[in-house]
Amino acid sequence: MSADTEVERKISDFLRRNGKSKALVIAKEFRIDKHTANKHLYNLERSNKAFKTDEQPPIWDLVENMNELKLTPEPKQKSQTTTETSGEKDVEELLMRSGGLKASHIARDLGQPTQIINKQLYSMEKKGKAKKCSQSQVWSLNEEWSDESLSQESDSRLQDCKLSSHSELFEMITELGDGGYGCVYEVKHKLDGKTFALKKVDLTGKADSEVKALAQLEHPNIVRYITSWPGPDIWTSNQQRNQVSNNRKYLFIQMEFCEGGTLTDWIRARNDLRKQRIIGEIHKIFYDIITGVEFIHANKLIHRDLKPDNILFRADGKVKIGDFGLVAAQTDQSGNPIERSKRRGTPPYMSPEQENKKNYDEKTDIFPLGLIWFEMLWKISTGMERVKLWPDLRNQSFPEGFSDRYSAESTFIMKMLSYSPEDRPYAKDIKGDLQTFFSPEQDLLSQKTI
């Protein structure tokens, strides 16, 4: 047997024992460079013993493993090991992309129980791949490992890629929104292929507050922040750029991509009857929104721009509050009220005090939540109907039939729309009452159409 054939037999044995693997992992196992590992893997492919997936970087597996999977169920022990190995790869990729995360956060992102993720993390720690900061409980890849993986796995792509801005690591897929002070793009990371939302805002103090708040607010109902960096605008054409300003600097905010659209889309689809309103679904969504707002308020912040455009859905339907462009502290550092600029926000949803007073607190966020809950329940067919109904609604007057049909909800909404902030309930009280009165889980089970 030639030396090459011997190595290839060993690689086959390795794949048989451990399941599918990247070339880099195989190279490390046999202490050869990645180029040599690839040479052997392609030899195995030519002799129809191994194949590689289209993923980037490719993952190699034995043809016989494929057949085995299709024809007979795998023995329990082996399938567990394979799942663990592939699970570790997902964890590794997530840690590489994010720089560092808590186990609970990883579990949430990968949709796995924290217990399983912890097991994978400790196994990675044993192999020297990952480490945990004992103070912050944040897991990250061992520098040696991550540098090596990054440099070897993506060597050619990185060599081709001379970055003048971090934004160049992303390919722009589409523009998701061009709002008041920023522009949001759907982008794809050129190295790992994952999709993100990237918000480009003017580099100002306001942008600084937005990223600081997002970074602080780690919660299942708040859009997940990844990182941010300053840089030039790279996706606007030169001509457009010249029209605005030559060398303007922006802050780019990388966030999870909420593929399911906004609450505005959700409401629109129900108003034009493309979709049905289901009471259990409405209560569940509103419960998630109030849970997110409760967390913002518990962190001593105010959102100040709650509206359906700023409430997003992930592909799996999870509700996420976004757009922290107007976020503000509840009080100053000594706990005193802050003097604020008037009329900052979106007028139709703005509380009366946010429109005309210099001092206001977190109760300002409760007013728009009353309007949002109403809009989720009540069909508004035309723009004209909306124009007529809106000023009345803001003055606690509901259209005919609303209070009869939704007596419990209308009592809550009425309080939330109180002119005086002191008469409005706190987010945590609304959440508690929702649990008592509506039991979102039970509602969802009943799936009653309204």
376 binds, among Mg ion, ligand ATP, none (CB under 5 to 8 A by kind): none
- Contact characters 320-359, ligand ATP, x per CB under 6 A: --xx-x----------------------------------
Q: How many residues bind ligand ATP (CB under 6 A)?
A: 21
Judged by beta carbon distances under 5 to 8 A according to partner kind, the member of Mg ion, ligand ATP, none in contact with residue 62 is: none
Nearest to 87 by CA among 95, 97, 75: 95
- 305 an active-site residue? yes
For the segment 225-264, give every residue that binds ligand ATP (CB under 6 A). Answer: 255-258, 262
Q: How far is the CB of 337 from ligand ATP (least distance, A)?
A: 25
Positions in 187-226 near ligand ATP (CB under 6 A): 197, 199, 223
Q: Sign (positive/negative) of CA torsion 23, 51, 121, 191?
A: positive
The 3-class secondary structure across 82-126, one letter per residue, is: HHHHHHHHHHHHHHHHHCCEEHHHHHHHHCCCHHHHHHHHHHHHH
- Residue 432 class from Cβ within 10 Å (0-12 exposed, 13-18 middle, 19+ buried)? middle
Helix H or strand E segment including 174: strand 170-178
Q: Other CB atoms closer than 10 Å to residue 319's CB: what's the count?
A: 23
61, 305, 365, 443: the active-site residue: 305
- Which residue in the set 149, 310, 351, 410 belongs to the binding site for ligand ATP (CB under 6 A)? 310
Compute the least distance from the CB of residue 419 to ligand ATP, in Å.
25
Q: Kindly state the smallest distance separating residue 320's Cβ from ligand ATP, in Å.
A: 7
Does residue number 181 form part of the binding site for ligand ATP (CB under 6 A)?
Answer: yes
Residue closer to ligand ATP by CB (options 256, 375) is 256
Q: 212: how many CB neighbours lie within 10 A of its CB?
A: 15
Nearest approach, Cβ of residue 412 and ligand ATP (Å): 26
What is the b/e burial string over 321-336, where b = at least 16 CB atoms within 10 angstroms of the residue's CB? bbbbbbbbebeeeeee
Q: How far is the CB of 226 from Mg ion (least distance, A)?
A: 18
Q: Which of 59, 70, 67 is nearest to 18 (CA)?
A: 59
Residue with Cβ nearer ligand ATP (40 or 304) = 304
Rule CB under 6 A: is residue 170 a binding residue for ligand ATP?
Answer: no
Q: Pick from 183, 255, 176: which is nearest to 223 by CA?
A: 255
Catalytic residues: 305
